[in-house]
Structure 1
Amino acid sequence: MKYYIIAGEASGDLHASNLMKSILKKDSNAEFRFWGGDLMQKVAGISPVKHYKDLAFMGFLEVAKNLNTILKNIKFCKEDIQKYKPDVLVLVDYPGFNLRIAEFAKSLGIKIVYYISPQLWAWKEGRVEKIKKFVDEMLVILPFEKDFYKKHQVEAHFVGHPLLDAISDLPTLDLQKFKSENNLNEKEIIALLPGSREQEVEKMLQIMLSVRPYFPKHQFVIAGAPSLPKSFYQKFVDENVHFVSNKTYDLLRSSKAALVTSGTATLETALLNIPEVVCYRSSKISYEIGKRVVKNIKYISLVNLIMDEEIVTELIQNELNTNNLVKELTKIFEGENRTKMLKNYEALREKLGGKGASDHAAEIIVNG
């Protein structure tokens, strides 16, 4: 069969590449055409139609500035699908773009599968109507999403979380080799995951690094985002603040604890069994708007949302300050709080259903 896949972000490239491997196991004659990145290219052996780095416009202002480009991309994508005539269109998250393409592809009679739901349960719930109209199979990766869609009369399949597959496939880590290759010293590591956008990273690192004087026996290591150049991080680096690029999983596995900006990274950190403190701060205006737009959400981290209780501390807005960071970080270094968090991580993995998300998704896509 011919598969047309659209992933518009780095995480989508990772999960779509693993999905493609699983599809090939079940359909040896599979042909792919895709929007994505280097990982998908490695599986397919061909370049993407468009690379996700040329598609990632985040935030209202950036979208507004690049509206012309976005509209051209949508037009081009529709024409490309029409020429390719796929048997199946697989959409990976990226809702602003993908839901428009779904509507068009539906008019051509193409089977449409949505893999990894947009976070409609948090905001823009009205988009469920588009999914109901234009999507044939909805494959979700968070257990509560199945109930969310059921409430809207959409039958969704919970396939498990693909991060469990990605993490279980990691080779054994040689800690000394990792430290040596990245010019790290023998001190225990506190990992800093400050996000991926320039303004966000700048703001979060200033707050995260304010705790340095309180932890002289540790070294701080920043996980660099692939979207930002190494030169951007140099102003934060000194004899006890280091930087690694494209090695976030290895960094986390080498760490005693982590400070993590909310997002998928909070879940990755938990699944790698590293105690963490979740950090979030935006401008006062953005925060106030966000509070009104995001409905019925008790937590900002995926870890707590999945467990429906606070198993990792979330420091949000004014609560995110040096004193609170020092207090919460100290709590998870040793003793009861650390043990409890690690035990909760075990329950989290069980709730996510174990390995096999990519295979489950591929089975539905290939065999219906």
Structure 2
Amino acid sequence: MAKRRRVFISVCEDSADVHAAALMRCAREMLPECEFYGLTGPRMRALGAETLYDFTAHAAMLSGVLSVIGHARRATRIVQQSWRERPPDLVLLLDSPELHLRFARRVRRLGLPVLYYIAPQTWAAREYRNRRIARDVDRLACILPFEEEYFRKAGVNAEFVGHPLFETLASARPDEARVMELRGAGGRGEPPRPGLAAASGPVLALLPGSRRHVIETLLPRQLQVVRRLHERGLAVKAVISCVAPDRRPLIEEHLAAAGLPASIVEGDNATVLAAADLVLVASGTAVLEVAFHRKPMIVMYDAGRWLAWMHRLVGWFLLKLPHLSLVNILAGARVVPEFMPFIRDIGPVADVAARLIADEAWRGLMLEQIDRLVRPLEESRASERVCEIMAEMLNLEPVAAGAGAISGQR
């Protein structure tokens, strides 16, 4: 019987739990010798990972700096004790550099190999972290195409593996009946097309994010855009994406305060985006999800007044990029409108939304550019490639992945 290999795996966010679960499904087939334990989420636990501490259970509720620090310290104590009592054969860290770069330093001192999956975005800010990454991380698995060259120039053993988001998106299917319901009279059965007559009403999808503080800040802004469009005589139909049931009360509260009609769809972005003619999306990974569905979009983010003041003082020094949304970063140009990191006046956002609804040529150009960006990412085999890297680091011979290993449809 092959020797079992212990892999310590750590995630802090719900999104990382999704990607780690996809990786574990792939490892179940390619690396059957591996057993996983560590800071895990519910999806990983359902696949057999042992949980030392579930940071994802607290991440959604953490609102203060002291609360975050308290949970991080507690998790660190538990993790360090586990490393001493049963050292892993490999440490696998996903995203969350605030905690995981500290973990990597401690692991390096113990002489354990470190694989970091989903690289810290030092190309946007805090480039000084690259020295720590080069020192403490053995292999860095990057999910954006330009990151491999960027990190290699900084002395990091980096490799582009593909974006794990596209593995899950490929298997998601919209609810066609619900799509027709959301599009309403005049839109049933028609492919989504911006600029519909007011009688049929273009569908404006609002993706306000998953984190509570982002929803609280951004959703009121998005609803203000809907109101401005109504005031201009544009009969847009608002559809709000709700990532999880526990976020619905917060969304309903803001919707009631705005006094606007809107549909709320839980946990089904594929359906929301299939119905949409235009999308107002919170900056982050969701931008790539909208791009995958080839939808015109406006990217929004409002970090708040306090951070706006800090940004005026030092933001010009910390932020290195001319563009902040992922689509524009990948393109190296302004492909989609972005209003971030602060929104002082909602008027310009509403102006751009109205123009996009009316301007078919602009929408067409935007979608052509988005399509060129997305196509190379759609063939992602991120989980499979990370498993191959794990095998190299563990001196194992991986089993060839089957057709269902990545998507989890087995």
TM-score normalised to structure 1 length: 0.89
Matched-pair contact (CA < 8 Å) for 1:150–1:156? yes
Matched-pair contact (CA < 8 Å) for 1:57–1:63? no
Residue 318 of structure 2 corresponds to 294
Shift of 1:363: 0.8
Shift of 1:162: 1.1
- The partner residue of 2:104 within 102, 105, 112 is 102
Choose 47-56 or 77-86, whichever is displaced more: 47-56
- The partner residue of 1:39 within 25, 31, 43 is 43
User: 2:320 is paired with a residue of what secondary structure?
Assistant: coil
Shift of 1:106: 2.0
Residue 306 of structure 1 corresponds to 330
Provide, for residues 288-347 of structure 1, a one-character-per-residue CA deviation record: whole Å limited to 9, x for no partner.
Answer: 424245332111101111111111101236766443223322333361111111111221
Identity of counterpart residues, as a percentage? Answer: 26
- The partner residue of 1:247 within 268, 279, 283 is 268
Matched-pair contact (CA < 8 Å) for 2:141–2:160? yes
- Matching residue's letter, 1:331: R
Q: Partners of 1:38 and 1:348 in 2: how far apart?
A: 32
Q: Is 1:316 the equivalent of 2:330?
A: no
- Matching of residues 215-234 of structure 1 within 5 Å: 215=230, 216-226=234-244, 228-234=246-252
Q: Is 1:170 the equivalent of 2:191?
A: no
Q: Partners of 1:227 and 1:134 in 2: how far apart?
A: 39
- Matching residue's letter, 2:348: N
Q: Partners of 1:203 and 1:143 in 2: how far apart?
A: 31
Residue 362 of structure 1 corresponds to 387
Aligned length: 363
- The partner residue of 2:209 within 192, 195, 198 is 195
- Matching residue's letter, 1:301: S
Matched-pair contact (CA < 8 Å) for 2:178–2:271? no
- Identify if the C-alpha distance between structure 1 residues 234 and 56 changes in structure 2 by more than 3 Å, giving closer, same or farther: closer
Shift of 1:217: 3.2
Q: Partners of 1:37 and 1:178 in 2: how far apart?
A: 31
User: 2:146 is paired with a residue of what secondary structure?
Assistant: helix
Choose 118-127 or 156-165, whichever is displaced more: 118-127
TM-score normalised to structure 2 length: 0.80
User: 1:217 is paired with a residue of what secondary structure?
Assistant: coil
- Matching residue's letter, 1:218: V
Choose 325-334 or 190-199, whichever is displaced more: 325-334
Matched-pair contact (CA < 8 Å) for 1:271–1:349? yes
Choose 269-278 or 144-153, whichever is displaced more: 144-153
Unaligned runs of 5+ in 1: none
User: 2:128 is paired with a residue of what secondary structure?
Assistant: helix
Shift of 1:240: 2.2
Q: Partners of 1:189 and 1:247 in 2: how far apart?
A: 16
Residue 19 of structure 2 corresponds to 15
Matched-pair contact (CA < 8 Å) for 1:197–1:227? no
The structure with the larger Rg is 2
| Cα RMSD for the two superposed structures | 2.6
Matched-pair contact (CA < 8 Å) for 1:139–1:361? yes
